[in-house]
Structure 1
Amino acid sequence: MPQVLDAAADPGRSPEFAGDAWAALHAGFRWQVPPDFSLAEACCGRWARETPDAPAVIFEGESGCSATYTYGQLQRAANRLSNALVRRGVQRGDRVALVLPQRFETAVAHIALHQLGAVAVPLSLLFGPEALQFRLQDSGAVLAIADGTVLPALRGLRESCPSLRELLVVGEGAASAEPGAAAESAWMGALQAEDARFTALATHAEAAAVLIYTSGTTGPPKGALIPQRALIGNLSGFVASQNWFGFDPFDAGRRSAAVFWSPADWAWTGGLMDALLPTLYFGRPIVASQGRFSPQRAFELMQRHGVTHTFLFPTALKAMMKAVPEPRRHYRLQLQAVMSAGEAVGDAVFRWCEQALGVTVNEMFGQTEINYVVGNCSRLWPARPGSMGRAYPGHRVAVIDEAGKTCPPGVPGDVAVHRRDVRGDPDPVFFLGYWKRDDATAAKFTGDPADSWCRTGDTAVMDADGYLWYQGRSDDVFKSAGYRIGPSEIENCLVKHPAVANAAVVPKPDAERGALVKAFVVLAPGHAGDAALIEALQSLVKGQLAPYEYPKEIEFIEALPMTTTGKVQRGVLRQLEAQRAGRAAG
């Protein structure tokens, strides 16, 4: 496997990088993208040959049962599955849906598909029939590998998904299908019938690897087609966000101890590209855990498996902070690095991680189309509380205005990533485009197609030192009485109050001001929402932020609407307020 990251020196050990190494890292960094690159070879094949007995996946079920699978076992199972898929007519470029949770078989499926050049279409177990139907139809998936729990939903979609020829079922539930319907096969039986040897097809770095559908927070879901090379583009950010401990590309084969875990669903970019694949790329073990997230279970799991590195959504960290304020009094933790993304972390959670976990949380920013492009590495440059961080090495990031011009420091605009890095070399992190949506792909970019900015749709300001400060999705930012309101800062302020578990800020239509600042608040256990608390929260925001930012109205709510990737769906709350205003006016 060729080296795919290159820098002037090893930043983890060179004294010249003491303090703030950010500028030096960028100056010495070069992408190394080979013409042929395979996720299967990079994440499994080479390790199966070099260290076949090294642990790859540590599985823990809801009942507490656990099993450890090695890289050799992962490769042999992937070989059997590749043979089984070829037998079923799956060819290079075919889309295969994976409706699977975190489990060994999910990792096997990804390796097997990339070995034969097929395209994985990961789908969440949380999707209902309508969401599954749209994605199966739109992708033209020819086969689905699915957990037995979703089999009834998939059976009901057979007639509406004519391209879907067969279901390969993991766990119990597979049965013979009625004539004319998609066939069903049990995973175990299908693999046992195949040879454990398979000759992987050569794969170009530009070849499609994964088709991931966006969460739909800004419109109907679009399929982002991710190439094999995109993992290379993720690596500098992954290594930096993990503080260069345990995932060191300069260790020349030295296998430092590292165990990774994240509750992020492997069906999403956050779980697949930020956790599963990069962990396997470095030949380290990842914990696959099933079951609902809870703060106590998270701490227990990290203690039990000696987790050293993790990715936790801000919503998870907030819940952990409220439920277990002093975790190290109750759990033996070995954490070396915590990365967080999806929403703004905020300085309250930032300080708790430092004091309670003993780790400076590295905030990261990216999206399905261009992932892992901005963030922090507290070991190599100062992490500023509340900031998204700086551009990771190899990525050229700016805040641009509507005309595509770079905004001066302190002026808000759209976070954008350039197709070419500061040296003029292509950035490998970019997606290939939206599946069957050339119009949407073109709209994502500003400027000449070969030399253009890709807009993220997220608003931020950049300071003079290159740090980005998140304000919200472009469609989340609103104006009240002429003032520009970014919800993230207000939400972070509200969460500092011990009675607040989570909060979301949206505009409430108002004839006089255009919109009022309204907050939806989820209470922490043991607290009651009353007039006194409303007044206290309003005073808190008034005292820490600008007077025009305090929420004129606060509504207590049992739970915030969330996407399956852990992001608050402020659009749902905005629509609710618009409907209420319409009824009041009528």
Structure 2
Amino acid sequence: MASTDRYAELHAAHRWEVPDDFNIAHACCSRWASDRSRFALYWEDESGATSAHTFWDLQREANRLSNALAQLGIARSDKVALILPQRRETVVAHLAIYQMGAVAVPLSFLFGPDALQYRLDDSETKIAFVDPQSLANLASIRAALPHLAAVVGVAGASADGVTPYESLLAPAAPRFAPVATRASDPALIVYTSGTTGPPKGALMPHACLLGNLPGFVHSHDGFPQPGDLFWSPADWAWTGGLMDALLPTLYFGQPIVGYRGRFDPQRAFELIERYQIRNTFLFPTALKLMMKAFREPRRRFDVNLRSIMSAGEAVGTTVFAWAQQNLDVTINEMFGQTEMNYIVGNSHALWPAKPGSMGRPYPGHRIAVIDEAGDA
């Protein structure tokens, strides 16, 4: 816990630095790709398959995909849906779409036909990427989507009218001239959960990544530090997985672990041990499952976590104390929504963190409670 409270100092000193021109793909990959030994992604799935990829690897593949998508007619501001789990191709597709000036529409691979149809129709998506799990749900509604011109199958997803990912990339050149984008240009549409009506598509500019960084850095106690390695089971289709894990980690030129498979407490600890993961974002439900399964995890697993961020609901005093006593980590809780993410939270090394408290406005943010007249 913080021995001194530096919050006021940090909040007062913060200044936003948002360039006129900014592109997520450049910030998260191409500027790091010249170092061919710099790893960006370690990946595995529940079958035991593994792979590792440098920023250079991802950039070359993203260039080929950008060229291939251009051949299919994708241009600036066109929508491309990614109905994919944590996979290499998911990362590559995001980069390829952003550097074209197109708009990514990440959608959960767990969505059923009705949920997919609403979002794909509302966003006027032109191309959708699917894996074997999401293909079946898309196939049943494809005829009802007039804007959808093509479907790309990843990881062996195949059917009539589906272009295999490998076939799409095969003739494409590995060099691509990125489109210049303003920081305010649209980059992605993330849909809300729809708890107060139909899901709403939140259109986010490239600069939204910069807006997430103060919260991300502070919630992981000064990320990045030497030896940091990130993993989160959060779906990369949600703001939590995309903006609280994948993109900010890559922004700092740091590697992330991707895992395709259902969450399981033992697998989670095995993953943390195997890769010596140092930083993670875990929902309170996941933390509770891990605590229930392994009250003293370090008796069985060699874990050396440095930071844990949690959000979605209150962690609670029991889990908070368990992490301190058994993982030697103070959990930094955070609050954010699809439309306004990483605005309030903790950074226990810099200001006191209380279990169950969502914290204070992160540097760069001012929060107020207003009445019906709009007065604070």
What is the CA–CA distance in structure 2 between the aligned matches of 1:278 and 1:188, rounded to whole Å? 28
What is the CA–CA distance in structure 1 between the aligned matches of 2:177 and 2:63, rounded to whole Å? 8
Q: Which amino acid aligns with 2:334?
A: M
Q: Does 1:221 align with 2:206?
A: no
Larger Rg: 1
Greater strand share, structure number: 1
Deviation at 1:246, TM superposition (A): 2.3
What is the CA–CA distance in structure 2 between the aligned matches of 1:366 and 1:174, rounded to whole Å? 37
Report what 1:118 is aligned to.
102
What is the CA–CA distance in structure 2 between the aligned matches of 1:72 and 1:41, rounded to whole Å? 12
Deviation at 1:152, TM superposition (A): 2.2
8 Å CA contact 1:260–1:308 kept in 2: the answer is yes
Report what 1:41 is aligned to.
26
Q: Secondary structure at the match of 1:47?
A: coil
Report Cα offsets for 1:263-300 as digits up to 9, x if no partner.
Answer: 00000000000000000000111111011101111111
Q: Does 1:128 align with 2:112?
A: yes
Q: Does 1:264 align with 2:227?
A: no
Q: Does 1:368 align with 2:338?
A: yes
Report what 1:241 is aligned to.
219
Q: Secondary structure at the match of 2:369?
A: strand
Report Cα offsets for 1:394-418 as digits up to 9, x if no partner.
Answer: 0011222333233xxxxxxxxxxxx
Q: Which amino acid aligns with 2:232?
A: S
Task: Give RMSD over aligned pairs.
Answer: 1.2
What is the CA–CA distance in structure 1 between the aligned matches of 2:54 and 2:130, rounded to whole Å? 23
Report what 1:400 is aligned to.
370
What is the CA–CA distance in structure 2 between the aligned matches of 1:356 and 1:404, rounded to whole Å? 45
Deviation at 1:102, TM superposition (A): 0.3
Q: Which amino acid aligns with 2:203?
A: L
What is the CA–CA distance in structure 1 between the aligned matches of 2:285 and 2:369, rounded to whole Å? 26
Report what 2:165 is aligned to.
187
Report what 1:390 is aligned to.
360
Report Cα offsets for 1:488-542 as digits up to 9, x if no partner.
Answer: xxxxxxxxxxxxxxxxxxxxxxxxxxxxxxxxxxxxxxxxxxxxxxxxxxxxxxx
Report what 1:431 is aligned to.
none
Report what 2:190 is aligned to.
212
What is the CA–CA distance in structure 1 between the aligned matches of 2:180 and 2:36, rounded to whole Å? 22
Q: Secondary structure at the match of 1:60?
A: strand
8 Å CA contact 2:60–2:174 kept in 1: the answer is yes
What is the CA–CA distance in structure 2 between the aligned matches of 1:219 and 1:100, rounded to whole Å? 25
What is the CA–CA distance in structure 1 between the aligned matches of 2:157 and 2:105, rounded to whole Å? 22
Deviation at 1:52, TM superposition (A): 2.5
Q: Which amino acid aligns with 2:182?
A: H
Deviation at 1:227, TM superposition (A): 0.7
What is the CA–CA distance in structure 2 between the aligned matches of 1:236 and 1:110, rounded to whole Å? 22
Report what 1:574 is aligned to.
none
Report what 2:121 is aligned to.
137
What is the CA–CA distance in structure 2 between the aligned matches of 1:43 and 1:105, rounded to whole Å? 15
Q: Which amino acid aligns with 2:313?
A: E
Where structure 1 has 5 or more consecutive residues not aligned to the other structure, the ranges are 1-16, 178-183, 248-255, 407-586
Q: Which amino acid aligns with 2:4?
A: G
Q: Which amino acid aligns with 1:299?
A: F
Report what 1:274 is aligned to.
244
What is the CA–CA distance in structure 2 between the aligned matches of 1:209 and 1:321, rounded to whole Å? 38
Report what 1:334 is aligned to.
304
User: How many residue pairs get matched?
Assistant: 375
| More deviation, 227-236/154-163 | 154-163
What is the CA–CA distance in structure 2 between the aligned matches of 1:95 and 1:351, rounded to whole Å? 45
* TM-score, normalisation: structure 1: 0.63
Deviation at 1:232, TM superposition (A): 0.3
What is the CA–CA distance in structure 2 between the aligned matches of 1:360 and 1:399, rounded to whole Å? 28
What is the CA–CA distance in structure 1 between the aligned matches of 2:175 and 2:106, rounded to whole Å? 25
What is the CA–CA distance in structure 1 between the aligned matches of 2:13 and 2:42, rounded to whole Å? 36
What is the CA–CA distance in structure 1 between the aligned matches of 2:239 and 2:129, rounded to whole Å? 19
What is the CA–CA distance in structure 2 between the aligned matches of 1:188 and 1:76, rounded to whole Å? 14
User: Following TM superposition, where does structure 1 have runs of at least 4 consecutive aligned residues deviating by more than 2 angstroms?
Assistant: 173-177, 399-406
Q: Secondary structure at the match of 2:51?
A: strand
Deviation at 1:245, TM superposition (A): 4.2
Report Cα offsets for 1:336-383 as digits up to 9, x if no partner.
Answer: 000000111122211111111110000010111111000000111111
Match of 1:66 among 47, 50, 56: 50
8 Å CA contact 2:43–2:50 kept in 1: the answer is yes
What is the CA–CA distance in structure 2 between the aligned matches of 1:401 and 1:165, rounded to whole Å? 47
Deviation at 1:210, TM superposition (A): 0.8
Report Cα offsets for 1:59-91 as digits up to 9, x if no partner.
Answer: 111111211100000000000000000000001
Q: Does 1:153 align with 2:131?
A: no
Q: Secondary structure at the match of 1:381?
A: coil
Q: Secondary structure at the match of 1:212?
A: strand
5 Å-filtered alignment, 1:552-571, equals none
8 Å CA contact 1:261–1:307 kept in 2: the answer is yes
Match of 1:287 among 257, 260, 263: 257
Q: Which amino acid aligns with 2:242?
A: L
What is the CA–CA distance in structure 2 between the aligned matches of 1:397 and 1:325, rounded to whole Å? 37
Deviation at 1:158, TM superposition (A): 1.7
Deviation at 1:157, TM superposition (A): 1.3
Report what 2:177 is aligned to.
199
What is the CA–CA distance in structure 2 between the aligned matches of 1:70 and 1:98, rounded to whole Å? 22
What is the CA–CA distance in structure 2 between the aligned matches of 1:173 and 1:303, rounded to whole Å? 32
Q: Which amino acid aligns with 2:291?
A: M
Q: Which amino acid aligns with 1:55?
A: F
8 Å CA contact 2:83–2:109 kept in 1: the answer is yes
Q: Secondary structure at the match of 1:126?
A: coil
Q: Which amino acid aligns with 1:187?
A: Y
